[in-house]
């Protein structure tokens, strides 16, 4: 019998964590109960992107978007909508600003403002079924590259596209391939960087979970371009679902002869293996990554020689990021000129961001280069929740910086973002409201760097330790005059002398917060005050009677029972019971606790 309806249930990591597997079982059961199992199909897709609203499901052909599904509602949903054709309104998306309900996916602003290239198959196909990828023009680009193009023509097309590495540094991909093509040697490698170490980043994981073949296809094409016959995907073991789906994809591609010898009768041989990393940030750095695959300790080495000359096992090697590869097949299929028509003068195509933090619509977004930060945060992201004030947006994680309100109209392209003191980075985008302490944020990233520093070079090992000590001191109320200057001096030295990108960029969060929020550092050091009320050591945990509106919200949020409150009475914090968790301060609507 014919299938009349597809239920595209999101099976990304986030939706699974919020229960999508139970939803799937409940759906199966209810469909069977109404004898609908032969005409309605459940398809488990990769990450759909709107993670905060999960578990999610898109119903086709009507394109109805259901969010926050629960097992209890499934019997009603199946009977009402799937049997009787009446979509269930209470599961629709509600626009946070206008409270308007929006039934179909294409009308939800979170989706409608995006431009999908890398994520074109997200939430649309079953990533464990190669035929679904093929149905969406999968392996068309590969066919063209293998049968109709020379390696030089492939490289030329990638250059024409203007594609730049999406792993953070933004190096032109075509040029990188050309160096590796020209390097002497009959054994070469094409590697994929799926280490994704930035805290808060989940772009690459989502691409691998939703569309693993797109990455494989890009790698096979890279193999032909540079003359490599073996590829490795370096993926952290903390990404079990991505690894599982990649493995399935590799087996299916081999089965079709799309990996292996003489692919599509073109004479090109290429195969791929997954190498699981243990999740060290430094192993995302290219030379450390290659050491790790060789079975050595994951530490960087000085460059040159660059990997294009001497990479994995000293052979010429190309390393590209997951998202970079995921663009390649479509560039082959539609041409470099098509790709270059999207974006700005020097930054072409799209970029995927993991939008998180103090923003209404948390999730994965793909936008054309050149869109402004404001559009991403306010139109796609739906603005700042709870009517709080925007403070800054952090880009590029521990290697990046923050952009304050006055630069929100900066277009997203490599050069413009650097000009305002941040970096494009690999796609982490953390929105912060007025309750974020910038000194504490800088401390957080320095803590991360200090943890992840491999220890090989002194500036990074010792220098970041010293910076962390100073930042801790300041947030603990022990800051002294001269600390800021010392941070600046250390930053300059570490940037200039560290061995690899990890150390060289480690001071960035400190430098950019100093640039825009210096007065916040000074308030901590001189006035012993944390303006954002985040640093517990600088707070009194007392209630300002003049400001308290006697609402009792603090009382209800306190996990330690440390607040005394009765209707129409000012709240009182009992210091002997208070654990300084900040939940009263965070939730107080009148800013009365100090």
Partner 1 sequence: MAKLTIEDLKKIRESAKKGTALREGETNVKITVHMGTCGIAAGAREVMDVLLEEMAQTDRQDIRVVTAGCMGMCSSEPNVTVEMQDKDPVIYQHMDKNKMRQVFKRHVLLGQVQSDFALARG
Ligand X SMILES: Cc1cc2nc3c(=O)[nH]c(=O)nc-3n(C[C@H](O)[C@H](O)[C@H](O)COP(=O)(O)O)c2cc1C
- Where does this chain bind ligand X (CB under 6 A)? 165-169, 171, 193, 195-197, 281-282, 284-286, 319-321, 324, 426, 500-502
Comparison of 93 and 281: residue with beta carbon closer to ligand X: 281
Q: Residue 552 class from Cβ within 10 Å (0-12 exposed, 13-18 middle, 19+ buried)?
A: middle
Does 112 help bind partner 1 (rule: CB under 8 A)? no
Q: Would you say 430 and 390 are in contact if contact means Cβ atoms under 8 Å apart?
A: no
Does 8 help bind partner 1 (rule: CB under 8 A)? yes
> Which residues, in sequence order, are CB contacts of 131 under 8 Å at separation 6+?
none
- Two tokens at 72? 């209890």
| Binders in 147-206 for partner 1, by CB under 8 A | 147
The listed partner (partner 1, ligand X, none) that binds 265, CB under 5 to 8 Å by sort, is: partner 1
Comparison of 324 and 513: residue with beta carbon closer to ligand X: 324
Comparison of 182 and 547: residue with beta carbon closer to ligand X: 182
Q: Which residues pair with 234 in a beta bridge?
A: 193, 275
CB of 317 to partner 1, least distance (A): 27
Does 62 help bind partner 1 (rule: CB under 8 A)? yes
Comparison of 8 and 207: residue with beta carbon closer to partner 1: 8
Comparison of 196 and 366: residue with beta carbon closer to ligand X: 196
Sign of CA dihedral 579, 583, 585, 590: negative
Distance CA 189, CA 192 (A): 10
Does 136 help bind partner 1 (rule: CB under 8 A)? yes
Comparison of 239 and 541: residue with beta carbon closer to ligand X: 239
Q: Find the radius of gyration of the CA atoms of the chain.
A: 26
Does 33 help bind partner 1 (rule: CB under 8 A)? no
Does 68 help bind partner 1 (rule: CB under 8 A)? no
Collapsing DSSP to helix, strand or coil, 499 comes out as: coil
Task: Name the residue with tokens 């081999």.
Answer: 254
CB of 396 to ligand X, least distance (A): 11
Sheet holding 428-433, edge to edge: 363-368, 350-357, 428-433, 390-395, 401-404
Q: Which long-range contacts (CB under 8 A, 24 or more apart) does 145-150 make?
A: 145/221, 145/224, 145/225, 145/332, 146/220, 146/221, 146/224, 146/263, 146/264, 146/266, 146/268, 147/264, 147/265, 147/266, 149/332
Comparison of 146 and 417: residue with beta carbon closer to partner 1: 146
Distance CA 257, CA 180 (A): 26
Distance CA 163, CA 180 (A): 16
Comparison of 256 and 275: residue with beta carbon closer to partner 1: 256
The listed partner (partner 1, ligand X, none) that binds 82, CB under 5 to 8 Å by sort, is: partner 1
- Number of other CB atoms surrounding residue 566 within 10 Å: 11
| Binders in 229-288 for partner 1, by CB under 8 A | 255-258, 260, 262, 264-265
Collapsing DSSP to helix, strand or coil, 145 comes out as: helix
CB of 501 to ligand X, least distance (A): 2
The listed partner (partner 1, ligand X, none) that binds 53, CB under 5 to 8 Å by sort, is: none
The listed partner (ligand X, partner 1, none) that binds 2, CB under 5 to 8 Å by sort, is: partner 1
- Characterize 41-76 residue by residue with b for buried, 16 or more Cβ atoms within 10 angstroms of its Cβ, and e for exposed: bbbbbbbbbbbbbbbbbbbbeeebbbbebeeebbee
Comparison of 307 and 382: residue with beta carbon closer to ligand X: 307
Q: Would you say 453 and 502 are in contact if contact means Cβ atoms under 8 Å apart?
A: yes
The listed partner (ligand X, partner 1, none) that binds 132, CB under 5 to 8 Å by sort, is: partner 1
CB of 27 to ligand X, least distance (A): 36
Q: How many residues bind partner 1 (CB under 8 A)?
A: 38
CB of 141 to partner 1, least distance (A): 12
Determine which residue in the list 21, 137, 379, 544 makes contact with partner 1, applying CB under 8 A.
Answer: 137
Contact residues for partner 1, defined by CB under 8 A: 1-6, 8, 35, 38-39, 60-62, 82-86, 124-125, 131-132, 134-137, 139-140, 143, 147, 255-258, 260, 262, 264-265
């Amino acid at each position: 019998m014919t299938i009349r309806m597809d239920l595209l249930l999101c099976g990304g990591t986030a939706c699974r964590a919020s229960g999508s597997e139970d939803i799937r079982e409940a759906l199966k059961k209810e469909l069977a109960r109404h004898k609908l199992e032969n005409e309605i199909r459940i398809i488990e897709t990769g990450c759909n992107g709107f993670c905060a609203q999960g578990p999610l499901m898109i119903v086709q052909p009507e394109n109805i978007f259901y969010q926050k599904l629960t097992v209890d509602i499934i019997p009603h949903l199946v009977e009402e909508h799937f049997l009787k054709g009446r979509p269930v309104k209470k599961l629709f998306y509600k626009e946070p600003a206008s409270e308007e309900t929006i039934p179909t996916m294409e009308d939800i602003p979170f989706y409608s403002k995006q431009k999908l290239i890398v994520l074109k198959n997200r939430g649309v196909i079953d990533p464990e079924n190669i035929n679904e990828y093929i149905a969406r023009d999968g392996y068309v680009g590969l066919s063209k590259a293998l049968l109709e193009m020379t390696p030089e023509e492939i490289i030329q097309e990638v250059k024409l596209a203007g594609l730049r590495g999406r792993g953070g540094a933004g190096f032109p991909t075509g040029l990188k391939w050309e160096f590796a093509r020209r390097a002497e040697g009959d054994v070469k490698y094409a590697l994929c960087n799926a280490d994704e170490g930035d805290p808060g980043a989940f772009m690459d994981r989502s691409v691998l979970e939703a569309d693993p073949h797109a990455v494989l296809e890009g790698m096979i094409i890279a193999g032909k371009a540079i003359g490599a016959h073996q590829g490795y995907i370096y993926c952290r073991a903390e990404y079990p679902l991505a690894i599982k789906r990649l493995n399935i994809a590799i087996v299916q591609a081999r089965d079709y002869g799309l990996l292996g010898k003489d692919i599509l009768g073109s004479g090109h041989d290429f195969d791929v293996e997954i190498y699981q990393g243990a999740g060290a940030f430094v192993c995302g750095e290219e030379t450390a990554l290659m050491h790790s695959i060789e079975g050595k300790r994951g530490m960087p080495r000085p460059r040159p020689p660059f990997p294009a000359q001497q990479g994995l096992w000293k052979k010429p090697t190309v390393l590209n990021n997951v998202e970079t590869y995921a663009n390649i097949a479509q560039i082959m299929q539609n041409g470099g000129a098509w790709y270059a028509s999207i974006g700005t003068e020097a930054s072409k195509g799209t970029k995927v961001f993991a939008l998180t933090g103090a923003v209404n619509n948390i999730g994965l977004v793909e936008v054309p280069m050149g869109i402004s930060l404001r559009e991403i945060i306010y139109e796609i992201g739906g603005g700042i929740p709870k009517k709080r004030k925007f403070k800054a947006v952090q880009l590029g994680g521990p290697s990046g910086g923050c952009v304050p309100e006055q630069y929100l109209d900066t277009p997203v392209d490599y050069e413009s973002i650097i000009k305002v003191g941040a970096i494009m980075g690999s796609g982490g985008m953390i929105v912060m409201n007025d309750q974020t302490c910038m000194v504490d944020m800088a401390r957080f990233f320095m803590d991360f760097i200090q943890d992840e520093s491999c220890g090989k070079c002194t500036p990074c090992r010792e220098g970041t330790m010293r910076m962390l000590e100073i930042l801790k001191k300041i947030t603990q109320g022990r800051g002294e005059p001269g600390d800021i200057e010392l941070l600046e001096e250390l930053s300059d030295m570490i940037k200039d002398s560290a061995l690899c990108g990890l150390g060289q960029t480690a001071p960035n969060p400190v430098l950019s917060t100093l640039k825009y929020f210096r007065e916040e550092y000074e308030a901590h050091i001189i006035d012993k005050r944390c303006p954002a009320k985040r640093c517990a050591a600088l707070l009194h945990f007392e209630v300002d009677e003049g400001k308290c509106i006697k609402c009792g919200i603090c009382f209800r949020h306190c996990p330690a029972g440390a607040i005394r409150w009765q209707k129409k009475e000012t709240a009182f914090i009992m210091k002997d019971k208070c654990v300084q968790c900040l939940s009263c301060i965070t939730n107080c609507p009148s800013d009365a606790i100090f």
